[in-house]
Amino acid sequence: MFERFLPEANQIPLVTLPITFKKRVIQLAYIPDLKNLRKTCPEIRRYCHDRPREIDQLYFTDDATHYQNAKYYRWFFQKFKYIYKWLGSVHYIYPTWQHFGNLKAAKKYKLKLYVTDILVLYCAASDSCDKFIPHLCGPYTCISIRGHVRWDQVKRLIHPNVKKIHILAQIEFNETEYDEFAQFIKDHLSGGYEKK
């Protein structure tokens, strides 16, 4: 009844807990807290491989050329940012993404990515966006979609936490989706859009 008042000597050490219990704790842990859990309990790290990786800013693509360009621009922006800091300027360049990934690696390693800030997607074909979506989750606040997508895919990527939406892609519509898209633009521009 009053287990929390027992001395520490009577508590069960983490090493003696069953593996299934440890796996269940990891499955139920909030993803941002998982990083702290790995630091406090190093033995838990080996059970965390199937949980989403937490990433602040991500550029995700299915095209090898765009993947290489993303690597180059990230390097360039990082160097340019340090030059601005070295010169003493208050304003420095903030890169659009800190991490980059491609669909091929995500499928190969069965990665799930938990994006917390900015998500930039480039889809070479509209069908590849359907393959992206299962690998992405999180409360990202800004999304930039480029390439070729369908409207139903865009709707699946936008959630109530998204404050900024940049669609620099060719969007394919069904005949029934034109009115819905016009209503979305009207509501989003007025600041009253909420996903239904």
Same domain, 32 and 65: no
Tokens of 81: 């940012």
Same domain, 34 and 114: no
The total of structural domains in the chain comes to 2
Same domain, 133 and 169: yes
pTM for this entry: 0.75
Same domain, 59 and 90: yes
Q: Report the DSSP beta bridge partners of residue 148.
A: 170
- Whether residue 195 is contained in a domain is answered as no
Tokens of 130: 């359907």
Looking at residue 130, its pLDDT comes to 92
- In tens, the pLDDT along 82-117 reads 665 666 554 444 556 788 889 888 888 888 899 998
Looking at residue 98, its pLDDT comes to 80
pLDDT at 131 over 70: yes
Looking at residue 92, its pLDDT comes to 45
Residue finishing a domain among 51, 71, 90: 51
Q: Which residue from 47, 138, 73, 61 is spatially nearest to 101, judged by alpha carbons?
A: 61
Cβ proximity of 173 and 181 under 8 Å: yes
Same domain, 4 and 69: no
In 3-state terms the chain splits into helix, strand, coil percentages (rounded to 5) of 50, 20, 25
Same domain, 94 and 44: no
Same domain, 120 and 72: yes
Same domain, 80 and 46: no
- Whether residue 196 is contained in a domain is answered as no
Q: Which domain holds residue 45?
A: 1-51
Virtual torsion, Cα 69, 74, 76, 80, nearest 10 deg: 150
The more confidently predicted of residues 30 and 61 is 61
DSSP state of 125: S
